[in-house]
Chains A and B, each alone.
Chain A
Amino acid sequence: QETCGLRILVPVKRVIDYAIKPRINKAKTGVETTGVKHSLNPFDELSVEEAVRLRDRKDSPLKVENILALSAGGPKTPDVLRTAMAMGADRAFHVDAPDSGLEPLTVAKMLKEVVSRENINLVLLGKQAIDGDQGQTGQMLAGLLGWPQATQASKVDIKDAEGTVEVTHEVDGGVETLRAKLPMVITTDLRLNEPRYATLPNIMKAKKKPLEKKTLADFGVEDKRRLKTLKVTEPEARQGGGKVEDVDGLIGKLKELGAL
């Protein structure tokens, strides 16, 4: 395996903005997406940021050769790819796909092909997309590639020119540190970094960076669905029980409710 530099793939997803409360559509088949503000999935911001920081690290034993951002989705997908490029990605692929989103296994199969064609040796993904909340794609990709994986990373450290990577990642009750050799798949968690804002000059520059349109067929995959949505419904509404005047009132009410 030739290392000599980092060739990073950062898959990103366009999702309903995290601050917006989604509404179920009338047909009860999904949530309403038209006219709703969308953004780059917050965890994907972390992975783009980490890729850019790997390049900025002056003492790094491995230089970043290239950062490729990729997203699959409908006609508005280039918006999030431009954001990723304004943050520092060098180029982007927009894979034409339905706005309803591909299943993680399909995405993983597509990414596997991208990795081999683009000679990628590090894939940085968010730990989950905040729409489907599935948290699968990175692990599936690592499995298909037979590569080491580190999920929910809070620290990534390139140790040497041979491509040894140490990753500290979130586990239940604390953190764990793993060591592996490139090529590798890493998924990002909140504490990894604080993503930068895309500045206006960088947004302008990003417009000139190469964005290639691709299709699923280019990567030899089909949009085959294994999961069938039967319905999407509102969660059971919770009714607030009103307020009390003081601490005694609070204790009284909690006793009444059997919570104390």
Chain B
Amino acid sequence: LARLLSTLAVLEQRDGKLQNSSLSAIAAAQKLGGPVTAFVAGKGVKGTSAAEAAKIKGLDKVVSVDNEAYEKGLPENYAPLLVENIKKGEYTHIIAGHSAFGKSLLPRVAALLDVQQVSDITGIESEDTFVRPIYAGNAILTVQSTDPTKVITVRGTAFQGVETEGGSAEIVEGVDPNTPAQTEWVSEELAKSERPDLATASRVVSGGRGLKSKEEFDRVIVPLADTLGAAIGASRAAVDSGFADNSLQVGQTGKNVAPQLYLCAGISGAIQHLAGMKDSKVIAAINKDADAPIFQVADVGLVGDLFEKVPELTEKLKSQA
């Protein structure tokens, strides 16, 4: 007899605040149907991120583990923690966002449960059948999992629309196996930014190798992004050449974005890059090569020198605002 479907959404939190990938995990969990439990662990989370999660509409309950040892989400102790709580809750589905946190943690959990994970899904056909892009999004795979427990990471841009207010889920204490972490967290360097988060921004302005240098990238791309209130993205070529930080990379090996507007300059449109942005609502491209593949997907293309056209665009948008 099939167990009743019951899903655990693994939430990512940082300094007591839920991260966007958490909402995608919950959105996907809700799409499956059946009760959804959220899981959150870290330093003092009961009063912060667990309370935030409890307000999300449609959650059955929130399992929280208050322990500083889990604050950095180190998979060596977080995976055994999750496994204990999964076993206790007898969940049929375990879902996390396909963020750095989810990508690093969930396969370790899956291995401990002896389950073959399904990564980075963009669609749910039924409780055991999922859709995911392969080959940099050049093919779409529909796959059925025969494992008794489904361990899944979800693509953020494909699962949205969670109501963050109006819920009143009960917060319950999770089990804490207190497995020691084998890695020590030393430090972090995060790019400080007032800009919207790249993965969830409604507008993205992106630059490529055509910008020629970091100075030019900053001089040309940043003012346009400021004018549009957009996040900044970059192609792998721009990142490899040191024009932009790796965390801004859009594409198969970087971030996937699906904003209302994706405006790019100096990007030829290699398949690797298209993989990360072709689900954008409107794509606009400025490139001096009229035959660049980017024009095959762009809703609107302008052939020209980006060093002239982008500043002109920025000025005209500014004066119209």
Contacts and interface: CB of A to CB of B under 8 A. Distances in A.
A154 to B, nearest CB: 7
Interface string B251-280: 011000000110000000001100000100
Interface in B104-148: 104-112, 114-120, 129, 132-147
A27 interface: no
Contact of A18 (B111, B182, B272): B272
Given A21-B271, A140-B108, A178-B186, A260 B134 contact: no
Among the interface residues B132, B140, B296, which one has the most CB atoms of the partner chain A within 10 A?
Answer: B140
Among the interface residues A131, A133, A175, A244, which one has the most CB atoms of the partner chain B within 10 A?
Answer: A133
Contacts of B296: 238, 240
Contact of A173 (B104, B110, B247, B283): B247
A69 to B, nearest CB: 22
Main secondary structure of the interface of B (DSSP, over half): mixed
Contacts of A180: 182-184
A247 B183 contact: no
A122 B236 CA distance: 28
B201 interface: no
B75 interface: yes
Among the interface residues B120, B191, B286, B300, which one has the most CB atoms of the partner chain A within 10 A?
Answer: B300
A241 to B, nearest CB: 4
B3 interface: no
B118 A247 contact: no
B144 A190 contact: no
Given A104-B116, A178-B183, A179-B186, A135 B300 contact: no
B140 A151 contact: no
A174 B14 CA distance: 14
B275 to A, nearest CB: 9
A103 B141 CA distance: 14
Given A24-B139, A233-B142, A260-B261, A250 B284 contact: yes
Interface residues of A, number: 81
B300 A254 contact: yes
Contacts of B110: 105, 136, 140, 143
B278 A238 contact: yes
Contact of A247 (B107, B139, B295, B313): B313
Contacts, number: 257
A217 interface: no
B316 interface: yes
Interface stretch (B55-63, B215-223, B301-309): B301-309
Contacts of B194: none
Contacts of A130: 135-136, 252-253
A171 B109 CA distance: 19
Given A133-B252, A152-B100, A178-B185, A250 B302 contact: yes
A179 B183 contact: yes
A136 B107 contact: yes
Contacts of A136: 107, 110, 117, 119
Given A240-B301, A244-B300, A250-B313, A166 B142 contact: no
